[in-house]
């Protein structure tokens, strides 16, 4: 984990405890974001999670209470508890014991099945506005976003209009990765040579955090990006400013981006290679090197590239 080093001299139990606490902290922050959605897909994901949890608690809570009651009722110091070591088969008891988990599985299975079809990432969102097309490329260790209709590309930053569906076409120019904006919902894989489809929408004008959810090497922990949802007028202003940036994304500039770099600052480019995304998918452009075994020269390397618009 970047920014925090655990001394090698620390006891093994202490190191494991620190790692466990940091992991729990990271997972808790992610879960809070999932439960605070800002859009129809994120709201649907949160509803499935909450409903499934409530259904499971309807069995878990009585089972735990019953276990404590049994331990208290049949404790050794309670002579009034009737002890019957010999018992016989009871069809009624068997029916109750098996029907409860079967009904639970049916409820949860139906809930997830309906939700999965309703929130299919390939399924366009219902809206009176046409979707914004954004092409996403996973690099080592950064994210490239291409606006093919606007001739603009960004690194580690994606700006979208509030209340407008966004159609993400996602691929990887290196190894497998996973694209995830917790408050928008629907994590999906970025795979080399393939295109994943994802439809999302933000209903609030806000800043969101996007992450890489698939371990991909040294720079994985800092492979994050910012999602900024702006009102339509502000989005148009941003787009015009982005189209006038001095940085140009052509074949040579992409060749530099595809190299392994860490902690890359957000940057905005004018797109000078209209077919870049398709060339990456078809691997007409050589893919990135991918994570390499760590060497003494590679250890501790920290490189930053890119600029600000």
pLDDT one digit per residue (tens) for the chain, 309 residues = 444 444 444 455 544 454 344 344 444 445 577 788 888 898 888 888 888 888 888 888 988 999 999 889 888 888 888 777 777 777 888 888 888 888 888 888 888 888 888 888 888 898 889 999 999 999 988 999 999 999 999 999 999 999 999 999 999 998 889 999 999 988 899 999 899 999 999 999 999 999 888 888 787 888 899 999 999 999 999 999 999 999 999 888 998 888 888 888 999 999 988 889 999 998 888 887 766 555 444 444 444 444 444
Residue 27 maps to a domain: no
Cα Rg of the chain (Å, integer): 26
CA distances from 253 to 149, 257, 271, 295 (A): 20, 6, 10, 27
Dihedral Cα 209, 215, 219, 221, nearest 10 deg: 40
Q: How many CB atoms lie within 10 A of CB 58?
A: 14
Q: Which residues pair with 229 in a beta bridge?
A: 160
Residues 267 and 146 reside in one and the same domain: yes
179 and 198 Cβ atoms separated by less than 8 Å: yes
Residue 79 maps to a domain: yes
Q: Please report the pLDDT score of residue 230 as a whole number.
A: 95
Domain count, the chain: 2
Query: Could you tell me the CATH number of the domain that includes residue 158?
Result: 2.60.40.420
Q: Which residues contact 35 (CB under 8 A, 6 or more apart)?
A: 46, 49, 50
Residue 309 maps to a domain: no
Strands 132-139 and 267-271: unpaired
H-helix or E-strand containing 68? helix 40-73
Q: Please report the pLDDT score of residue 13 as a whole number.
A: 53
Torsion angles phi and psi, residue 177, rounded to 5: -145, 180
Residues 54 and 167 reside in one and the same domain: no
Torsion angles phi and psi, residue 81, rounded to 5: -75, 125
Quick check: pTM over 0.85? no
Strands 224-230 and 157-161: parallel
Q: Please report the pLDDT score of residue 31 as a whole number.
A: 54
Residues 46 and 152 reside in one and the same domain: no
Q: Please report the pLDDT score of residue 68 as a whole number.
A: 94
Token pair belonging to 299? 């250890």
Which one-letter DSSP state was computed for residue 194?
-
Q: Please report the pLDDT score of residue 30 as a whole number.
A: 52
Q: Please report the pLDDT score of residue 291 as a whole number.
A: 62
Q: What spatial distance separates the first Cα and last Cα of the chain, rounded to whole Å?
A: 29
Residues 182 and 260 reside in one and the same domain: yes
171 and 281 Cβ atoms separated by less than 8 Å: yes
Query: Could you tell me the CATH number of the domain that includes residue 49?
Result: 1.10.287.90
* Domain ranges, residue 173: 132-281
Point out the domain boundary residue: 118, 151, 179: 118
Residues 269 and 199 reside in one and the same domain: yes
Residue 292 maps to a domain: no
């Amino acid at each position: 984990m970047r920014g925090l080093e655990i001394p090698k001299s620390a006891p093994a139990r202490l190191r494991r405890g620190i790692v466990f606490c940091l992991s729990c902290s990271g997972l808790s922050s992610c879960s809070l974001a999932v439960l605070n959605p800002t859009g129809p897909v994120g709201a649907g994901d949160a509803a499935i999670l909450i409903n499934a949890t409530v259904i499971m608690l309807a069995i878990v809570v009585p089972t735990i209470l019953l276990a404590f009651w049994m331990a208290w009722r049949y404790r050794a110091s309670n002579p009034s508890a009737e002890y019957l070591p010999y018992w016989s088969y009871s069809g009624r008891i068997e029916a109750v014991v098996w029907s409860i988990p079967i009904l639970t599985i049916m409820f949860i299975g139906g809930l997830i099945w309906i939700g999965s079809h309703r929130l299919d990432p390939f399924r366009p969102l219902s809206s009176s506005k046409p979707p914004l097309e954004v092409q996403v490329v996973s690099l080592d260790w950064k994210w490239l976003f291409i606006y093919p209709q606007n001739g603009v590309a960004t690194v580690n930053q994606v700006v979208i209009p509030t209340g407008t569906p966004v159609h993400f076409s996602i691929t990887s120019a290196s190894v497998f990765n996973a694209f995830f904006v917790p408050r928008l919902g629907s994590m999906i894989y970025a795979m080399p040579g393939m295109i994943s489809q994802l439809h999302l929408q933000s209903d609030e004008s806000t800043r969101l955090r996007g992450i890489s959810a698939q371990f991909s090497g040294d720079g994985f922990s800092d492979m994050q990006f910012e999602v900024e949802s702006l009102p339509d007028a502000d989005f148009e202003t941003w787009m015009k400013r982005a189209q006038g940036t001095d940085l140009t994304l052509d074949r040579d500039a992409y060749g530099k981006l595809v190299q392994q770099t860490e902690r890359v600052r957000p940057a905005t480019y004018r797109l000078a290679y209209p077919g870049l995304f398709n060339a990456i998918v078809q691997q007409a452009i050589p893919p990135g090197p991918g994570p390499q075994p760590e060497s003494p020269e590679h250890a501790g390397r920290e490189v930053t590239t890119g600029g600000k618009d």
